[in-house]
A and B are shown apart, each in its own frame.
Chain A
Amino acid sequence: MQLIEKLSILADAAKYDASCASSGAPKRSSEGKAGLGSTDGMGICHSYTPDGRCVSLLKVLLTNFCLYDCQYCVNRRSSDVPRARFSPEEVVTLTLDFYRRNCVSGLFLSSGIIRSADYTMEQLVRVAKLLREVHDFRGYIHLKTIPEADPALIAEAGRYADRLSVNIELPTDKSLQILAPEKQIGSIKQAMQTIFTGEQTVLNEPRAPRFAPAGQSTQMIVGADDTDDSTILHGAEALYGNFKLRRVYYSAFSPIPNSPKSVPLAAPPLMREHRLYQADFLLRSYGFRANELFAGPGDLALDIDPKLAWALEHREVFPLDLNRAEATLIARIPGIGLRTTERLVELRRQRKIRFEDLARMRCVLTKAKPFFITSDYHPQQAESTSVLLREQLRDRPQPQQMGLWG
């Protein structure tokens, strides 16, 4: 099979993995050196496809042959898809070619499970090792980790890769048993623990060889089972806490060809995915806890963002005086982000904050208006009930895209 045919099959097979980040790597440069590539911590999105997603890395599978039969996966063994397999050298050639063209900032390599977990992991590591040692490649490398692989192989992967990831796949153990019977939650978490330990070992050891300096991430498929958002985000919070993950990626389940009956054949729940990312950001950067976002079981609202939802449930906190309130509280005002909070704090050291300052800072004023006070403004809406406010502030439903097959 020609290389270009393999590429078409193995890129198509890899598109369901949401992550394409190339950020968080240490500073590396090839200035005046043999070889190729640099990283500086910032990711670069070299292109965007018409699904609005960024193309930052060459994201392919080494092979889409797979022994497993995960129901949500297009590459499951019972799926009737064309199959292909790259040699490690072929992946290296493609990575370097795309990199020189400035089309990507590195490689994100994953694989179906062939022969055994160890064999598959060895092949992935071999690609990274060739890039780093034979070609002096200093760009970004993200390797998918096969959970059942020998910890020694995972440790080796960590020496070459900037990022490692183990997919948690589904939000609950029960769903995993039903939809991915060959996978075990125990070995997934064990692999996360191995990576976490690897990271901890080199921490504060400046001379130790680097270990996955851009940390580890995971992906959870949303909408393939009926788990609610509360369970999903409490799960994510635990992963952030237990294994210090950099990111949990939520991937709205995309219908796959020849879909088995066990998974839905519906358009991917993109708005739900969006709300999960917003809530996840509140957990990671705004100091929210999952149990602040959910009173009990249930899903995030689709028509309002999770910060607005929280504010409407906690009217006793608002309106906040922007000239006095603590920064962490200002950041909890709907429509006001971390950057705006920083700017407000900077400005109020110089003078009183006025209403028109907010308009200039490009925050979402209609959302923020009912929740703050400035030296020249007090919101009339402070007296409105939350029900009424929600009615005023919710997103109007977008015109539905006509499904041509519905």
Chain B
Amino acid sequence: MISLECDNLFSTWREQARWLLSHQIDPSHVSWGEVEVADLFATDEHYPTHNGPFQARIPKALLELLESAACYHGEQRWSLLYEVLWRVSHGDRTAMMAGDQLGSELQRRIKQVRREAHHLHAFVRFIALPAAVGPQMPEYVAWHEPAHDILHSASQHFVGRMGRHRWMIATPLDGVYYDGEQLIHQRQCPEQWQQLARNVEDPHSAMWLTYYSHIFNPARLNPKVMEGHLPSRFWKNLPEGKLIPGLISEARTGKQRDGQASLVAARRGKKISSGHS
């Protein structure tokens, strides 16, 4: 049994996999450890460090699929990829397709990763730092907790979105900072970034919270559909998250009668006489 460690880096895994494949080493003889330091040659068999004779031909599309699936946090993160690679390089293309047992797991992971990137684009909430902090600091900071390794690639989206503004996204694992010109990725998010993003005050959040409460139509209450799209693990980092239980219970206790929010219903109305406004 060969146990390997790739520091959760796709490029490292790729080199290791290329070597394994060139020596025709069957997936059942390899495993990747997640945390513990593994030694490439901690095995009773002996292998040379240079590549072996087997020349694998793999479709280019496969490499992209593997790189995307590699962002998935879960069991067999790296060995699953080698198994797919092994089968495809030995002529069995079904291993990358959803109809196959292994392929369907690969495709499921890719889908989860894509979904998590989308969650980043959707649910990051930037909070402005006071202007006084100066040009060395980001103008906007966000704290986000992604389930997979998507921050680096998916945060590119905000470069297009935020123009020349400086912004930072901190997570429990890694972090990104855009200084107005380039995107800097830290695999280990600096503690200072984490502190900044977690403790920032937001004195101007009332507008958004008001909007959220009032665009909700209590006559159409459907919390199940909401939770399907907005998983509850995100609520704690969304400013509107804390409004959700209250809006649901208010709708259940009477506001389902019509679509209007009770705060608007409580205000004095105004009919308009025909002809002027």
A51-B218, A98-B208, A100-B126 are known contacts. Are A15 and B121 too (CB-CB below 8 A)? no
**Pick from B125, B220, B270: contact of A52, CB under 8 Å:** B220
Query: Which residues of chain B have C-beta atoms less than 8 A from A44's C-beta?
Result: 118, 121-122
Which of B140, B159, B263 interacts with A8 by CB under 8 Å? B263
- A192 CB-CB contact with B under 8 Å: no
| B53 located at the interface, meaning its Cβ lies under 8 Å from any Cβ of chain A in the complex | no
**Separation of A325 and B118 alpha carbons in the complex (Å):** 35
Given contacts A8-B264, A31-B159, is CB(A347)–CB(B271) below 8 Å?
no
Closest to B240 in A: A47
Check if B73 is an interface residue, CB within 8 A of chain A.
Answer: no
Q: Say whether A287 faces chain B, with CB atoms less than 8 Å apart.
A: no
Asked whether, in the complex, the Cβ of B206 is within 8 Å of the Cβ of A15, the reply is no
Complex CA–CA separation, A37 to B161 (angstroms): 4
Judging by beta carbons under 8 Å apart, are A254 and B217 in contact? Answer: yes
| Pairwise interchain contact A77-B272, C-beta atoms closer than 8 A | yes
The answer, yes or no, to whether A9 is at the interface (CB within 8 Å) is yes
Smallest CB–CB gap between B98 and chain A, Å? 5
Q: Say which one of A59-67, A230-238, A301-309, A312-320 lies at the interface with B.
A: A59-67
Residue from the set A4, A101, A255, A351 with the largest chain B CB neighbour count within 10 Å? A101
Annotate B191-206 by CB proximity to A: 1 below 8 A, 0 otherwise: 0000000000000101
Q: Does B29 contact A (CB under 8 A)?
A: no
How distant is the Cα of A118 from the Cα of B148 in the complex, in angstroms? 51
Q: Which residue of the partner chain, among A32, A101, A347, contacts B125 with CB atoms under 8 Å? A: A101
Q: Within the complex, which residue of B226, B260, B277 is in contact with A67, where a contact is CB–CB below 8 Å? A: B277
Query: What are 10 sample pairs from A and B whose C-beta atoms fall under 8 A apart?
Result: A7-B214, A30-B164, A47-B122, A49-B216, A79-B271, A255-B219, A268-B220, A361-B104, A404-B252, A404-B257
The answer on a CB contact under 8 Å between A82 and B268 is: yes
- Are A15 and B217 in contact, with the CB atoms below 8 A? yes
- Chain B proximity of A184: nearest CB distance (Å): 18
Decide: A98 near B97, CB < 8 A? Known: A30-B162, A52-B224, A79-B269: no
A81 to B128, CA, bound (A): 35
| Residues of chain A lying within 8 A (CB to CB) of residue B226 | 48-52
Question: Contact size class for B?
Answer: 35 or more
> Is B94 a contact of A347 with CB atoms below 8 Å?
yes
Please determine whether B219 and A360 come into contact, CB atoms closer than 8 angstroms: no
Query: Which residues of chain A come closer than 8 Å to B270, judged between CB atoms?
Result: 80-83
Q: Which of A33, A50, A81, A115 contacts B277 (CB 8 A)?
A: A115
Per-residue interface assignment for chain A, residues 1 to 43, with 1 indicating a CB less than 8 Å from any chain B CB and 0 otherwise: 0011001110110111000000000001111111111101000
Q: Check if B225 sits within 8 Å of A404, measured CB to CB.
A: no
Question: A353 on the interface (CB 8 Å rule)?
Answer: yes
Within 8 Å of chain B (Cβ to Cβ): is A97?
yes
A residues apposed to B, CB below 8 Å: 3-4, 7-9, 11-12, 14-16, 28-38, 40, 44-55, 58-59, 65-67, 69, 74, 77-83, 94, 97-98, 100-103, 114-115, 136, 252, 254-257, 259, 267-268, 270, 343-344, 346-347, 350-351, 353, 357, 360-361, 401, 403-405
In the complex, are the beta carbons of A102 and B124 less than 8 A apart?
A: yes
**In the complex the two chains form, is B214's CB within 8 Å of A46's CB?**
no
Is the Cβ of B207 less than 8 Å from the Cβ of A360?
Answer: no
Contacts of A14 in B (CB 8 A): 215
The residues of A that contact B247 with a CB separation of less than 8 Å are: 49-50
Q: Report whether B261 and A50 are in contact in the complex, using a CB–CB cutoff of 8 Å.
A: no
State whether the Cβ of B274 lies closer than 8 Å to any Cβ in chain A.
yes
On whether the beta carbons of A77 and B271 are closer than 8 Å, the reply is: yes
Q: Does B65 interact with chain A (Cβ within 8 Å)? A: no
The 5 tightest CB contacts between A and B, nearest first, are A52-B225, A80-B269, A30-B163, A29-B160, A38-B160
Smallest CB separation, A141 vs chain B (Å): 15
Contact partners of A136 in chain B: CB under 8 A: 163
Contact of A343 with B164 in the complex, beta carbons under 8 Å: no
CB distance from B224 to the nearest CB of A (A): 7
Give the interface of B toward A (CB within 8 A). 93-94, 97-101, 104, 118, 121-128, 140, 142, 157-165, 181, 204, 206-208, 210-226, 228-230, 238, 240, 244, 247-248, 251-254, 256-261, 263-265, 267-275, 277
Cα(A152)–Cα(B86), bound, Å: 63
On whether the beta carbons of A66 and B208 are closer than 8 Å, the reply is no
Q: Report chain B residues within 8 Å CB of A351.
A: 94
Residues in A with CB closer than 8 Å to B127 are 101
A11 touches B211 (CB 8 A): yes
Residue of B with least CB distance to A33: B163
Question: What residues of B have a CB within 8 angstroms of the CB of A257 in the complex?
Answer: 258, 260, 265
The one of A7, A79, A83 in contact with B211, judged by C-beta atoms closer than 8 angstroms, is A7
A45 to B218, CA, bound (A): 19
Among B124, B160, B206, B267, the most chain A Cβ lie within 10 Å of the Cβ of B160
Q: Contact: B207 with A3, CB < 8 Å?
A: yes
| Complex contacts, B271 vs chain A, CB 8 Å | 77-80
Taking a contact as CB atoms under 8 Å apart, the answer to whether B258 and A8 are in contact is no
- Residues of chain B within 8 A (CB-CB) of A115 are 277
With beta carbons under 8 angstroms apart, the residue of B118, B126, B164, B238 that contacts A33 is B164
Closest to A120 in B: B277
Report Cα–Cα, A267/B207, bound state, in Å. Answer: 30
Q: Which among B101, B165, B216, B274 is the interface contact of A360 at CB below 8 angstroms?
A: B101
Q: In the complex, which residues of chain A have a beta carbon less than 8 angstroms from the beta carbon of B158?
A: 102
Q: How far is the CA of A14 from the CA of B211 in the complex (A)?
A: 11
How distant is B232 from chain A, measured CB to nearest CB, in Å? 11
Chain B residues with CB under 8 A of A37 = 161, 163
Alpha-carbon distance between A241 and B243 when the two chains are bound, in angstroms: 43
A12-B260, A46-B123 given as contacts; is B216 within 8 A of A100 (CB)?
no
Which residue of chain B lies nearest to A346 when distances are taken between CB atoms in the complex?
B97
